[in-house]
Amino acid sequence: MLRATHSVLKSGAGNCFYVISTKPGLTDADRRRLAKREGNEHVESPVPYGQLMRETGFIDVEVSDVTPDYIVTIRAWKSEWEADSDPLIELFGEEEFSRRIHNRILDISNAEDGLVQRFRAFGVKA
């Protein structure tokens, strides 16, 4: 996707994005733990995103770890859903609602333990 985005940008144009990525060097145990979450919202990147961007042709690359804010946002989603659960259970059904809350719990744990991180990355097309 980085290459496709790079291609359609004008020279000198910026690409600034947020991405949830696994930590480098996942072990089999890490993957089993991540697999407990139904569906996934992260990418597994073999190299750091800054390196990926430079290899794609972006310059002036800056990558910031915004995982603490990510954890706050996940907690907020969980709290809001639990506080307004009746209409959401009616919308999703009890089982699906519980599954989604459980996913939030796993996401918080995975982020707090460093298995996944959220980054803001910026680069300019040369």
Residues lying near another protein in the complex (CB under 8 A): 1, 3-5, 7-11, 13-20, 39-41, 43, 66, 69-70, 73-74, 76-77, 80-81, 84, 87-88, 91-92, 118, 120, 122
Token pair 């809001």 is found at 80
CA distances from 67 to 19, 22, 25, 84 (A): 10, 11, 18, 26
Which letter does DSSP use for residue 36 in this model? T
* Half-sphere exposure (Cβ direction) of 99: Cα atoms closer than 13 Å: 10
Q: What angle do CA 2, 115, 25 make, to 5 degrees?
A: 70
Question: Residue 46 CB, nearest distance to another protein (Å)?
Answer: 14
Instruction: Choose between 20 and 30: whose C-beta lies nearer to another protein.
Output: 20
Instruction: Choose between 30 and 58: whose C-beta lies nearer to another protein.
Output: 58
Question: Residue 28 CB, nearest distance to another protein (Å)?
Answer: 22
Interatomic CA distance for residues 21 and 50, integer angstroms: 12
Question: Residue 13 CB, nearest distance to another protein (Å)?
Answer: 5
Which tokens is 19 given? 């991405």
Question: Residue 64 CB, nearest distance to another protein (Å)?
Answer: 10
Which tokens is 117 given? 């991180």
Instruction: Choose between 7 and 27: whose C-beta lies nearer to another protein.
Output: 7
Instruction: Choose between 13 and 105: whose C-beta lies nearer to another protein.
Output: 13
